[in-house]
């Protein structure tokens, strides 16, 4: 399965053509993206925040679900690479009139689009698009259903690497609504690819069922066990929009049992890093004192999202281009 996913993501020359999932990617691809992001981080500190890597290219942002951080950072990333950026207003588009996803893509591709950045409620939507675009067109998955959110996982891993160096050998806890989380699945794939073997999935049985252990992590329903001596705590929000039924008794009870407070964090390593892909729900999955505390990397994650997404667009939409910045 991983090999098949990898095959569609690379072109005949072995270059990254699409980024749909971290499954099937080569470890050296992640390292190349991180190295490129290192050189692109400083672009944001310049007075002129643009490099010409995608000059003359057109990037279309297709967000069929609401987004703030992901859509905005992709738009900034593409513009900093000097691409022409089009953000489709989906409610006002022909998609709202019943046009199929592939017909929408075909019409936009006929306008000489070079890359699509897609967020969709249906798992596999970006894969479907990737199988139908022209060979020179890139597709980047910005989140599909409960399946994958590869650039979020990349920026999370990059942020850890930026602060601590080598990720391998760390103990990582992913806490919250793992069942409905595309972020968690991509984080797991990326952590495994970088050599992390001690990963705990922490939450109530309704949101972290035992079967998720097949993803290559230890399931912990006791938060003290799950957080004990970990180096990194990755929090997840409750995916209310994907729930049908009562998965938790109430927000208050969930916070009392699984919310990340300073007391709960005390069993982790003293220098443990705290992360969250956002949007954060204060008093539901995380306390303000932790979210705004000295160990929190929540805002650096957002900043690094621009550099990582620049690197991804440069490698996919800019295949063969000189990436010297």
Q: Is 79 annotated as a binding residue?
A: no
Give a yes or no: residue 255 inside a domain: yes
Ranges of beta strands (E only) in the chain are 58-63, 84-87, 115-120, 138-144, 171-175, 198-202, 218-220, 232-235, 273-275
Give a yes or no: residue 324 inside a domain: no
Residues 154 and 144 in one domain: no
- pLDDT at 243 (0 to 100): 47
Residues 12 and 120 in one domain: yes
Residues 7 and 132 in one domain: yes
The reply to whether omega before 279 is within 30° of 0 (cis) is: yes
Query: 58 is written with which tokens?
Result: 């057109």
Give a yes or no: residue 264 inside a domain: yes
* Angle subtended at Cα 89 by Cα 88 and Cα 91, rounded to the nearest 5 degrees: 135
CATH number at residue 227: 3.40.50.1370
Residues 165 and 234 in one domain: yes
Give a yes or no: residue 256 inside a domain: yes
Residues 113 and 183 in one domain: no
Q: Is 70 annotated as a binding residue?
A: yes
Q: Is 26 annotated as a binding residue?
A: no
Give a yes or no: residue 322 inside a domain: no
Asked whether the beta carbons of 94 and 104 are under 8 A apart, the reply is yes
Residues 136 and 218 in one domain: no
The three-state secondary structure class of 69 is: helix
Residues 115 and 178 in one domain: no
pLDDT tens by residue, the chain, 325 residues? 555 666 799 999 999 999 999 999 999 999 999 999 999 998 988 888 899 999 999 999 999 988 999 999 999 999 999 999 999 877 767 676 678 999 999 999 999 999 999 999 999 999 999 999 999 999 999 999 989 999 999 999 999 999 999 899 999 999 999 998 999 999 999 999 999 999 999 999 999 999 999 999 999 999 999 999 999 999 999 865 554 555 676 888 999 999 999 999 999 999 999 999 989 999 999 999 999 999 999 999 999 999 999 999 999 999 755 556 6
Residues 134 and 170 in one domain: no
Task: HSE, CB side, 13 Å, CA atoms: give it for residue 146.
Answer: 12
**Distance in angstroms (rounded) separating the CA atoms of residues 39 and 307:** 9
- pLDDT at 245 (0 to 100): 56
Residues 144 and 219 in one domain: no
* Angle subtended at Cα 60 by Cα 57 and Cα 62, rounded to the nearest 5 degrees: 165
Residues 213 and 252 in one domain: yes
The three-state secondary structure class of 124 is: coil
**Distance in angstroms (rounded) separating the CA atoms of residues 126 and 116:** 9
Residues 245 and 133 in one domain: no
**Distance in angstroms (rounded) separating the CA atoms of residues 144 and 82:** 27
Cα–Cα distance list, 232 to 81, 169, 208 (Å): 32, 11, 18
Asked whether the beta carbons of 186 and 149 are under 8 A apart, the reply is yes
Task: HSE, CB side, 13 Å, CA atoms: give it for residue 158.
Answer: 31
Q: What domain count does the chain have?
A: 2
Q: Is 119 annotated as a binding residue?
A: yes
Domain that holds residue 198: 150-297
- pLDDT at 240 (0 to 100): 59
Q: Is 97 annotated as a binding residue?
A: yes
Residues 186 and 244 in one domain: yes
DSSP result, 210-251: GGGGGGTSEEESSHHHHHTT-SEEEE----GGG--S-SSS-H
Give a yes or no: residue 321 inside a domain: no
Give a yes or no: residue 110 inside a domain: yes
Give a yes or no: residue 49 inside a domain: yes
């Amino acid at each position: 399965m991983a090999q098949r996913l990898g095959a569609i993501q690379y072109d005949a020359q072995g270059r990254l053509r699409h980024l749909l999932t971290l499954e099937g990617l080569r470890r050296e691809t992640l390292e190349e993206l991180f190295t490129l992001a290192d050189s692109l981080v400083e672009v944001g500190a310049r007075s002129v925040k643009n490099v010409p890597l995608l000059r003359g290219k057109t990037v279309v942002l297709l967000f069929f679900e609401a987004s703030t951080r992901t859509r905005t950072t992709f738009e900034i990333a593409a513009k900093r690479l000097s691409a022409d950026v089009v953000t489709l207003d989906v409610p006002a588009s022909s998609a709202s009139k019943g046009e199929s996803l592939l017909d929408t893509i075909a019409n936009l591709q006929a306008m000489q689009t070079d890359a699509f950045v897609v967020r969709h409620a249906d798992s596999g939507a970006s894969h479907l698009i990737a199988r139908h675009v022209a060979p020179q067109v890139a597709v980047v998955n910005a989140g599909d259903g409960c399946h994958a959110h590869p650039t979020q996982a990349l920026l999370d891993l990059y942020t850890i690497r930026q602060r601590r160096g080598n990720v391998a050998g760390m103990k990582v806890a992913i806490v919250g609504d793992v069942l409905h989380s595309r972020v968690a699945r991509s984080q797991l794939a990326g952590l495994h690819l970088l050599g992390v073997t001690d990963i705990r999935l922490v939450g109530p049985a309704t949101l972290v069922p035992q079967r998720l252990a097949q993803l290559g992590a230890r399931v912990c329903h006791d938060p003290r066990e799950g957080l004990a001596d970990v180096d990194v705590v990755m929090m997840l929000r409750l995916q209310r929009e994907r729930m049908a039924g009562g998965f938790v008794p109430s927000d208050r009870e969930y916070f009392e049992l699984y919310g990340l407070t300073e007391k709960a964090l005390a069993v982790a390593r003293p220098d443990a890093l705290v992360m969250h892909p956002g949007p954060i729900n204060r008093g539901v999955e995380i306390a303000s004192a932790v979210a705004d505390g000295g160990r929190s990397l929540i805002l650096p994650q957002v900043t690094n999202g621009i550099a990582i997404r620049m690197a991804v667009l440069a490698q996919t939409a800019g295949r063969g281009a000189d990436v010297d910045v």
